[in-house]
Structure 1
Amino acid sequence: MMASAATDPANAPAEAAPRTGEGTLRLLLVDDHPLFREALASAIALAFPGAELHEADGIRGACEILDRNLGIDLTLLDLTMQGVAGFDGLVTIRTRFPRVPILIVSGLEEPRIMHEAVRHGAAGFVPKAVDKATLTRAISEVLNGALFMPPDRAAPPAPARPSKKPPLAERVARLTPQQMRVLTMIRQGKLNKQIAHELQVGDSTVKAHVSEILRKLEVISRTQIVIETAYLDFDQTGGGF
């Protein structure tokens, strides 16, 4: 994990991507392959002279950087890193730092995965195999508030089957007060050990609560818990602990 200033205006392309707003552009690169981070940093330095680049080799390091409140404008995140399952890394950062847009830069190129990433909160998706011009355009569009998907890989996903689940508020109402406290902490990105420490209970008790939350909300993972409850008003459901 390190920070470096990208400075080489002489090598910038004639039409470098625009930067909205004032001040230095600050980007966070999250990938566990140092060589790819180096290549990505070089490409960004050419497109955005003067940009301030921060690097992390995992989700924990990324959260530490974002916790410092450095004014990160955009996070570029790989999905397939050691210790990260599925979209868990994306959901963790999105939940803890909802105001920082996330552009996925991944070797996974299936349209289904791209659309799932967007559904999990990504602001765009760029395959690692794209050229520098496409990467520059993706960063520029996301910084300007647009959603970026590669035109040649952005086929819409198959329609989802209608859900037979009860309304979310009804499912949440099934939870006990203690389970609501655990749910609130899961939404904050806390691990079982952290939850156990705050509630002063054992790890096994927290695991039991999480299992019951999964069952009562009719979901299969912590990631789904966060996604399904992302827009729920806990003040209206009695979950504002």
Structure 2
Amino acid sequence: MLDGRALDRECLASALEDHELGMVVVAMGSIEEWRIRKGSACPLSTILFNLGGRKVTDHGIAEEIRHISSEFKTVPVVILADTEDLAQVLTALECGARGYIPTSVGIDVCVEAINLAAAGGIFVPASSVLSMRHLIKSGNCDARPLTGMFTLRQAEVAQALRRGKANKIIAHELNLRESTVKVHIRNIMKKLKATNRTEVAYKVNDLFAEGPLGQE
């Protein structure tokens, strides 16, 4: 478990062990501390990264999640955070996390979510899934023809490009860093085999005329 706050990580580690997590909990202040002490520790089965009041979209957090997920490829990374905003959940998953636990849930749910990730599943808060359903029911149909080809976030960025919005505006509206928007645009261009933003907008318009496409 990674948490820079000593009292928080010690209390949570104790609570997880008391609720029969089924794993030995090793609480560390950072991934660097783990690297120093890993020789005397058990092999990792799951990494629980407690953000507390911080957000995935805060400076440096998303990059840290990507780095940990990339370094420990076979070990699922689960995020624990105070917010359960849908944008935060999606960004965490896009960075390689295999689960997102809001601190609004009880310890029993937290234990089950960690075990689900260890077994190969992905846990996301029900409130976030329900908010996505609400968006669809409220008439947000614009991105539907794109959801077969793109991830939800890519579809949102592609729709914004179709409307001619600048990267800075897209980043602000979707609560993303501008550098993340650029990464999404590059991936969209690859999928559409487009060479510039104008061609992306043109091809996205064609997708609306053709209807949903299969996933590439």
Letter in 1 for 2:32: R
Identity within the alignment, %: 20
Distance in 1 separating the partners of 2:157 and 2:21: 47
1:160 equivalenced with 2:156 (yes/no): yes
Structure-2 change in CA distance of 1:124 and 1:77 (3 Å):
same
Matched, 1:104 2:76: no
Matched position secondary structure for 1:103: strand
Contact kept, 8 Å, 1:76 with 1:105, in 2: the verdict is: yes
Aligned to 1:34: 6
Question: 2 CA distance for matches of 1:65 and 1:135?
Answer: 26
Q: CA deviation at 1:162?
A: 2.3
Distance between the aligned counterparts of 1:164 and 1:102, measured in 2? 30
The corresponding residue for 1:87 is: 62
Rounded to whole Å, the distance in 2 between the matches of 1:109 and 1:65 is 32
Q: Which residue of structure 1 aligns with residue 27 of structure 2?
A: 55
TM-score under structure 2 length normalisation: 0.56
Calculate the TM-score normalised by the size of structure 1: 0.50
Q: Distance in 2 between matches of 1:43 and 1:54?
A: 13
Q: Is the 8 A contact 2:63 2:95 kept in 1?
A: no
Choose between structure 1 and 2: higher helix proportion: 2
1:119 lines up with 2:91 in the alignment:
no
- The 1:116–1:67 alpha-carbon spacing in structure 2 relative to 1, beyond 3 Å, is farther
Aligned residue for 2:116? 141
Q: Deviations over 1:156-192 (max 9, x none)?
A: 4664232999xxxxxxxxxxxxxxxxxxxxxxxxxxx
Q: How far is the alpha carbon of 1:50 from its aligned partner?
A: 6.1
Cα drift, residue 102 of structure 1: 0.5
Alpha carbon RMSD of aligned pairs, Å? Answer: 3.5
Q: Which residue in 1 is equivalent to 2:16?
A: 44
**Partner residue of 2:43?**
71
1:150 pairs with one of 100, 125, 128: 125
The residue matched to 1:149 in structure 2 has which SS? coil
Is the contact made by 1:66 and 1:72 (CA closer than 8 Å) also made in structure 2?
no
Q: Is the 8 A contact 2:84 2:125 kept in 1?
A: no
- Cα drift, residue 68 of structure 1: 7.1
Distance 2:61 2:123 in 1: 20
Correspondent of 2:179 among 220, 227, 231: 220
Helix, strand or coil at the partner of 1:220: helix
Are residues 115 and 52 of structure 1, via their aligned partners in 2, closer, same or farther at CA, if it must alter by over 3 Å? same
Closer/same/farther in 2, CA of residues 95 and 49 from structure 1, 3 Å limit: closer
Mapped partners of 2:65, 2:21: distance in 1: 27
Aligned residues: 144
In 1, distance between residues paired with 2:12 and 2:64?
19
Structure 1 position 78, deviation (Å): 2.3
Q: Which segment is superposed worse, 38-47 or 94-103?
A: 38-47
Task: State the AA in 1 paired with 2:61.
Answer: G
Distance 1:68 1:38, change over 3 A: closer
Conservation of the 8 A alpha-carbon contact between 1:63 and 1:93: no
Q: How many angstroms apart in 1 are the aligned matches of 2:15 and 2:159? A: 43
